[in-house]
């Protein structure tokens, strides 16, 4: 049976990914702060929770993130709060980097594997037409760079592994409850879309940024 690991499994998209991967025949392990005490912003916590894992995992999905770390997305530069910005960066960029540092040894060498990291289109510098949301945008742009670099590094030893950043669309979760959109989709639908995209990619596409429809997103 194929295996999968979901980091951030108690969140809206993370829990939906656990269910979706299970429905596709994967044996899924889910990790999160709520379930396992995993604090992705703390290197010691990441090591403590992930060191015992043996793998190999055919799919790893990293679904950690925060919109504004308890604050609100900034509409103007004058609203930038250094403490909140630092907290957003720590969760959205540092956390996934610490997780990805543990991932290579958990991937198979002789068969294809897939690593998806939850990003957001607003992290695209090229796609930014309206400004604002400084902390969230910048932290996701940093995350995209981390994913791209990780794909290069891990790909040197795991040549059949595909590692990508993924934009899920606007999803109905606790993050978006106050940011309604007519294009909003359920976490279940987002998970289905993300699985379709991730599992359909090839190693040659590793290190790229894709949306829920499988279209590349500009950096």
- What burial class does residue 155 get, using C-beta atoms within 10 Å of its C-beta: 0-12 exposed, 13-18 middle, 19+ buried? middle
Residue 218 included in any domain:
no
Check residue 69 and give its pLDDT: 87
* Residue 87 in domain: yes
Q: Side by side, which strands form the sheet with 27-31?
A: 27-31, 3-7, 59-62, 113-118, 161-167, 209-211
Q: Is residue 219 part of a domain?
A: no
pLDDT in tens, 60-117: 999 999 998 888 999 999 999 999 999 999 999 999 999 999 999 999 999 999 999 9
103 part of a folded domain = yes
Burial of 142 (0-12, 13-18, 19+ CB in 10 A): middle
186 within a domain of the structure (yes/no): yes
* pLDDT tens, position by position, 126-159: 999 999 999 999 999 999 999 999 999 999 999 9
Count: domains in the chain: 1
Examine residue 46 and state whether it is found in any structural domain, yes or no. Answer: yes
Per-residue pLDDT band at 213 (split at 50, 70, 90): very high
Residue 217, domain member (yes or no):
no
Q: Is residue 16 part of a domain?
A: yes
CATH number at residue 80: 3.40.50.720
- The residue segments making up the domain with residue 135 are 3-211
């Amino acid at each position: 049976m194929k295996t999968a690991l979901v980091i951030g499994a108690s969140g809206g998209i993370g829990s939906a990914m656990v269910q979706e991967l299970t429905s596709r025949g994967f044996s899924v392990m889910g990790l999160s702060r709520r379930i396992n005490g995993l604090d992705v912003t703390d290197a010691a916590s990441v090591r403590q929770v992930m060191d015992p894992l043996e793998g190999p995992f055919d799919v790893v999905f990293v679904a950690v993130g925060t919109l504004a770390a308890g604050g609100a997305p900034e509409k103007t530069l004058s609203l930038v709060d250094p403490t909140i910005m630092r907290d957003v960066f720590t969760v959205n960029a540092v956390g996934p980097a610490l997780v990805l540092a543990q991932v290579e040894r958990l991937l198979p060498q002789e068969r294809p594997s897939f690593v998806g990291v939850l990003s957001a289109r607003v992290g695209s510098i090229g796609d930014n037409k309206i400004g604002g949301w400084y902390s969230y945008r910048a932290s996701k742009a940093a995350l995209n760079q981390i994913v791209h670099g990780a794909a290069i590094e891990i790909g040197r030893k795991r040549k059949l592994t595909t590692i990508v950043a993924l934009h899920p669309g606007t999803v109905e979760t606790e993050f978006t409850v106050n940011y309604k959109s007519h294009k909003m989709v359920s976490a279940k639908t987002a998970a289905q879309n993300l699985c379709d995209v991730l599992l359909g990619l090839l190693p040659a596409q590793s290190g790229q940024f894709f949306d829920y429809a499988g279209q590349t997103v500009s950096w």
